[in-house]
């Protein structure tokens, strides 16, 4: 253990953790999309069974349930991308109009 007037902890106090409300809301939306997707897949299977049994209107309900399941899964995957960005795991894409870096002094000719 060190002694002296400059001895002490090398680290400062850790900042208090805050709740990331955006990530929490996106996580809840992802959960909702996954539950809706599961229900729609189950409904599509049920309607498909009824349609094979001879009910012609069940084909339309099966098609609608399939389209809804596709939409829920697509939105859920988009929200996973948003969640990764909200958590800081990925960064937003750069715009093509933004300069790549600072311009060299003297212009393009001097940079050669």
Confidence (pLDDT) at 87:
92
* Distance between CA atoms of residues 70 and 37, nearest Å: 8
Instruction: Please give the residue that has the higher pLDDT: either 59 or 101.
Output: 59
Residue 104: pLDDT above 70? no
How large a percentage of the chain has pLDDT more than 70?
80
Residue 41: pLDDT above 90? yes
Q: Measuring CA to CA, how many Å separate 106 from each of 89, 97, 103, 110, 112?
A: 37, 22, 9, 5, 10
Residue 71: pLDDT above 60? yes
Per domain, the residue ranges of the chain are 34-86
Confidence (pLDDT) at 110:
64
Instruction: Please give the residue that has the higher pLDDT: either 77 or 107.
Output: 77
């Amino acid at each position: 253990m060190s002694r002296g007037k400059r001895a002490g902890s090398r680290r400062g106090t850790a900042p208090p953790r805050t709740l990331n409300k955006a990530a929490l809301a996106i996580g809840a939306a992802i959960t909702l999309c996954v539950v809706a997707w599961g229900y729609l897949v189950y409904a599509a299977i049920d309607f498909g069974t009824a349609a094979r049994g001879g009910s012609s209107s069940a084909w339309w309900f099966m098609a609608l349930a399939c389209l809804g399941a596709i939409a829920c899964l697509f939105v859920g995957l988009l929200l996973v991308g948003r969640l990764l960005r909200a958590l800081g795991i990925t960064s937003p894409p750069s715009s093509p109009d933004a300069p790549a870096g600072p311009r060299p002094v003297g212009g393009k000719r001097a940079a050669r």
